[in-house]
Structures are given as structure tokens and as C-alpha cells.
Amino acid sequence: MKKTVLAFSRVNQEMAERLAQDFNVIIPDPKKGDINAQFNEALPEVHGLIGSGRKLGREQLATAERLEVVSSISVGYDNYDVEYLTERGIALTNTPDVLTESTADLGFSLIMSSARRVAELDAYTKAGNWKRSIEPPHFGTDVYGKTLGIVGMGNIGAAIARRGRLGFNMPILYSGNSRKSALEQELGAQFRSLDQLLAEADFVCLVVPLSDKTHHLIGKRELGLMKKSAILVNIARGPIVEEPALIEALHNGTIRGAGLDVYEKEPLSESPLFKLSNAVTLPHIGSATTETRQAMADLAYQNLRSALLGERPQNLVNPQVWKG
Ligand code: 8YV
């Protein structure tokens, strides 16, 4: 008998057809009413879940008695209670690697657009304000040769560091749980404590996963350690930064600017950040290119299919549940 799969987000027609070759597929349909109600109603029958952007833990999955695998279409897995899934023997898979370069591109776009005020001056031009040559109050700051601080030197952090070092001649500093000697050799990257990195870097790029340890890693004290001329970029997760403290720091000129792709609450349709010309605000698009989102969907599909057919999936977050 075919197993049943429930998609909890972002599954296009092609993916639905591929899944249907091996499984019964349930896709909540907003035209048929509340999708949360449809999701909850289907849960007791379901062997596999696929999607992203939904909190799944003890409370949400209590009735999912047959659940064997959750396949997330994301690299980050802070939405899932890994301990609970593991306790229940439910496999959790994610989509690392395939989004590394596009997410690093976005990180660098935020560095560039914050430094050179791209979004702000685009709006200025389109508003018809360009009547004479731009003067110092609208000047940006250089990127080339400035010091780049990477907080959390994983794959994406390393890809940003390469862009900075090889493309922009930037000295690289990094902080995190472990020393990366290969990168120190390759890029001349230097390890620092977080406080020291904040004090020295011209651009501070946050690329750490969200966990209890990194929640509000950057607050008023940390922003106060940064140079007044420095720019903070967050492409990791919103709650790593205490947003009210950042808003205050941007408002007071404690730091020069911020490039943000993520927020404490998402989606974000209203925020004091939107009134600040020194904040570039993007709608969580780190991996949002056609090619990368396709690659993530393909990988999540493979992970789900393997797990449900009894083959070890490629990207197990909790390998201890796999008894195969
Ligand atoms: C996801 C991301 O697409 O992979 C991640 O962890 O942040 C993005 O690439 C996003 O989380 C989907 O909601």
C-alpha cells in the first residue's frame, strides 16, 4: 500500500506529480478553506511531511502517529523540535549545500547595497529628487579593502568570506565555536572572540544558525562594541538580533547601517525599520533564485522519497534515528 505524504508549503505541480508516482499526496488548498485545519485533519494518516516555514514540534505533531519523516525545504531547522522528533524516531532532513552560493551572493548584495546606499538612492532617483550632483550627505562608504567579520564560519560564511577576500581584497575575521584552519590558510582568515570581531570589523555578517545559544546574540551591548562606521548584515535568522536594540542603534547612529534579510517576526509588513534610510530590508530571499529553489525542492524530494522507501536519506539532521 502506498504511503501518504502531506505538503505543508511551496510544492508546485511538478513536485506534486513526482510525489504521486510513489505516494498518496495531500496538498492543503486555500480554496477549500482553512489550510491549518486541512493540515491537522490529514496528520493522523501521514507518513511523510515536506515543506518549509512551519513550526513543527510536540504540540503540532501529537496526532501524527504514523509519521516517519519530515523533509524540510531549507537548510536551517530551527522551526523543528529536533529532540522531540528524535525521541519519536522521526527522521528530519534538510537541504544544505545547494543554497550556499546563492545565499552568499545575497549576503554580499546586502553588504554592497548598505555600503553604497543602493536601495535608498534608487528610491531617491525614482522620486524625481535627482536635480543636481549627489553631495556628501548622500555618499556611501567603500567596501574594497575593508575588514569583513563573519559570525559563524560555516559553508555560507566561508562562501561570503571568499567573495570578500578574493573579489574585494578584504581582511577576514571570524568568530564561532571552532577554528577553521583550512580557511585560515586559504583566505588568511583570523579567529577572534565575538566582542573583538565586533570591535574590529567594518562589516559584520551574521551567518550562525538560530539556537538557544545564539538567540539575541547581538543586543545593545554588542551593537555598542561596533564601530560607528560599521554595517551589520543579517542573513541568518531574525531572533539572533534584538530588533528593538538594532532599531535604536540605527536611529542613534551607534552604527552606520544594516542590511537585513530576516526579522524577529516574519513575514513583516510593518516596522520602524521601514522608516530608516540606513536599513536595507529584504523579505527573506537568501535562497530565492529560480535555480536554487528548484535544487532545494529536488533535494527535499529525494530525501523524503529515500526515507519513505527505506533508503538512508542524504541529509539527515538526526542520523541517530536511522536504523537501516
Ligand atoms: C528557506 C532559509 O527557503 O534554507 C533556509 O534555512 O532560510 C531559506 O532558504 C526559508 O527558510 C523558507 O521559509
Q: What is the pLDDT of residues 89-110, one digit of tens each?
A: 999 999 999 999 999 999 999 9
**Number of compact structural domains in the chain:** 2
Q: Are residues 176 and 264 in the same domain?
A: yes
Q: Are residues 234 and 152 in the same domain?
A: yes
Ligand 1 centre distance from Cα of residue 233 (Å): 17
Whose Cα sits closest to atom 1 in ligand 1?
Answer: 74
pLDDT bucket at 161, cuts 50 / 70 / 90: very high
Q: Catalytic one among 47, 117, 165, 237? A: 237
Q: Distance (Å, rounded) from C-alpha 51 to C-alpha 116?
A: 36
Q: Whole-number mean pLDDT of the chain?
A: 97
Quick one: average pLDDT of 257-280?
98
pLDDT bucket at 177, cuts 50 / 70 / 90: very high
Q: Residue 35 maps to which CATH number? A: 3.40.50.720
Q: Are residues 273 and 144 in the same domain?
A: yes
The stretches of 62-164 forming alpha helices (DSSP H) are 82-87, 100-116, 118-126, 155-162
Amino acid at 310: G
Whose Cα sits closest to atom 11 in ligand 1?
Answer: 74
Q: What confidence tens digit (pLDDT) does each residue in 192-209 have?
A: 999 999 999 999 999 999
Helix/strand number for the chain, H first, E second: 13, 12
Q: Over pLDDT 70: what percentage of the chain?
A: 99
Q: Over pLDDT 90: what percentage of the chain?
A: 97
Ligand 1 pocket mutation, candidates 52, 234, 292, criterion most atoms within 8 A of CB: 52
Quick one: average pLDDT of 48-76?
97
59 belongs to the catalytic site: no
pLDDT bucket at 323, cuts 50 / 70 / 90: confident
pLDDT bucket at 11, cuts 50 / 70 / 90: confident
Ligand 1 centre distance from Cα of residue 209 (Å): 11
Residue range of the domain that includes 302: 4-97+290-321
Q: Are residues 20 and 119 in the same domain?
A: no
pLDDT bucket at 12, cuts 50 / 70 / 90: confident
Q: Are residues 272 and 125 in the same domain?
A: yes
State the pLDDT at residue 10. Answer: 67
Q: Is the pLDDT of residue 324 over 80?
A: no
Quick one: average pLDDT of 12-16?
91
State the pLDDT at residue 262. Answer: 98
Q: Are residues 113 and 182 in the same domain?
A: yes
E strand spans, the chain: 3-7, 23-26, 48-51, 69-72, 91-93, 148-151, 172-175, 190-191, 203-206, 231-234, 257-260, 279-281
- Ligand 1, CB cutoff 6 Å, lining residues: 52-53, 74-76, 99, 286-287
Ligand 1 centre distance from Cα of residue 139 (Å): 33
Q: Are residues 311 and 219 in the same domain?
A: no
58 belongs to the catalytic site: no
Q: Are residues 260 and 162 in the same domain?
A: yes
Q: Are residues 168 and 202 in the same domain?
A: yes
Q: Is the pLDDT of residue 300 over 90?
A: yes
State the pLDDT at residue 199. Answer: 99
Q: Catalytic one among 17, 87, 266, 311? A: 266
Q: Are residues 133 and 273 in the same domain?
A: yes
66 belongs to the catalytic site: no
Whose Cα sits closest to atom 9 in ligand 1?
Answer: 287
Atom in ligand 1 nearest the alpha carbon of residue 77: 6
Q: Are residues 75 and 122 in the same domain?
A: no
pLDDT bucket at 9, cuts 50 / 70 / 90: confident
